[in-house]
Structure 1
């Protein structure tokens, strides 16, 4: 199993596929992949103005709000999606034609993308004060500390990883990831992403 600590302050920025902005690439598979041939990708972007989303055919996307008031995602002949502090996570197909409108000033987002033929994913917000055991059968598990903290990730093997805001923990390369405990002595807002190969079984389990 590979374990990687990710700090957004140490990451390189890459252009959006449509060239309209810049993105921090938190993780990508394969490691040498580009925007046209990745299996999955985790990134964060600042959106400073309204505009069209890049087209990612065959990709499933989830978007979470990290900072700002939110976005309205206008979709052709479909109800718009709202990304706000009250509803911070949305999911949609990457090939959809989407025009994003800022609700009240710039925002920062967290973006999970998986190639539909090979991977599935789920993104969830977690509020924590105290302890919570997290069992996962995901092929890849991503834990991101959004605010508060520190968020302590304690693996059953005894390894401990404290996360501060802007830091994440990526666990991959093993179908049955070890059970871990999340611990916070101060209030934490975090995001959890489970990524599974399409052929994987059993599917991921939510925290309990």
Structure 2
């Protein structure tokens, strides 16, 4: 179990100056854009603009704050808000994001097509939720304050993350007043 603090993330401004991305975690550790198996990031989207193309990569995008429209080549426009389910689309498809109400904060999950299967699920912890061990790797991104117990107790602040592998014991997330979180799960295909 590894805690990844939001306060430790460095922002990378976009070339078009329309936003900033902060990497939450990538696998393997230290991997760049050309050699990651999976990558999770959060972005602040301030202006309309094209998404970067990632050949051979699948994406899942959830809007955490604001409203965003995705114009993906060959697909109908998708409108996303904090209340909508995440959108899955090919990272190599030409895509334009349009800010409908902003600024927008999003959670972006990318996985190498044919090597890793990714899933992104919204969680509402009220008052507790136990995550049993499972095959693969999971990343919990807290949107509110959470207490994690087992094997040791640790507090997560908003946007902190918890990296879990299949070797970790069961973990309990607690939020007596209720708190949202996102669970990204990754399973190797080869």
Per the normalisation by structure 1, the TM-score is 0.83
Deviations 1:61-81 (A, max 9, x none): 11112222x111012231122
1:153 alignment partner, one of 148, 153, 160: 148
Once residues 15 and 114 of structure 2 are traced to their aligned partners in structure 1, the CA distance between those partners, rounded to angstroms, is: 21
Once residues 120 and 59 of structure 2 are traced to their aligned partners in structure 1, the CA distance between those partners, rounded to angstroms, is: 10
Once residues 148 and 111 of structure 2 are traced to their aligned partners in structure 1, the CA distance between those partners, rounded to angstroms, is: 25
Once residues 146 and 88 of structure 1 are traced to their aligned partners in structure 2, the CA distance between those partners, rounded to angstroms, is: 16
Whether 1:83 and 2:74 are equivalent positions in the alignment is: no
Deviations 1:15-60 (A, max 9, x none): 5487754311111122232112211111111100011111111111
Q: Where does 1:59-208 land on structure 2 (aligned, <5 Å)?
A: 59-68=57-66, 70-147=67-144, 150-155=145-150, 158-172=151-165, 175-199=166-190
Cα deviation, residue 159, structure 1:
1.8
Once residues 33 and 18 of structure 2 are traced to their aligned partners in structure 1, the CA distance between those partners, rounded to angstroms, is: 15
Once residues 18 and 103 of structure 1 are traced to their aligned partners in structure 2, the CA distance between those partners, rounded to angstroms, is: 18
5+ residue gaps, structure 1: 200-208
Q: Count residues with an aligned counterpart.
A: 190
Deviates more, 1:105-114 or 1:126-135: 126-135
Per the normalisation by structure 2, the TM-score is 0.90
1:14 alignment partner, one of 8, 12, 15: 12
Deviations 1:141-179 (A, max 9, x none): 1111113xx312222xx322221212111123xx45422
SS for the counterpart of 1:185 is coil
C-alpha RMSD over aligned residues: 1.9
1:203 paired residue number: none
Cα deviation, residue 112, structure 1:
1.0
5+ residue gaps, structure 2: none
CA contact (8 A) 2:80 2:86 kept: yes
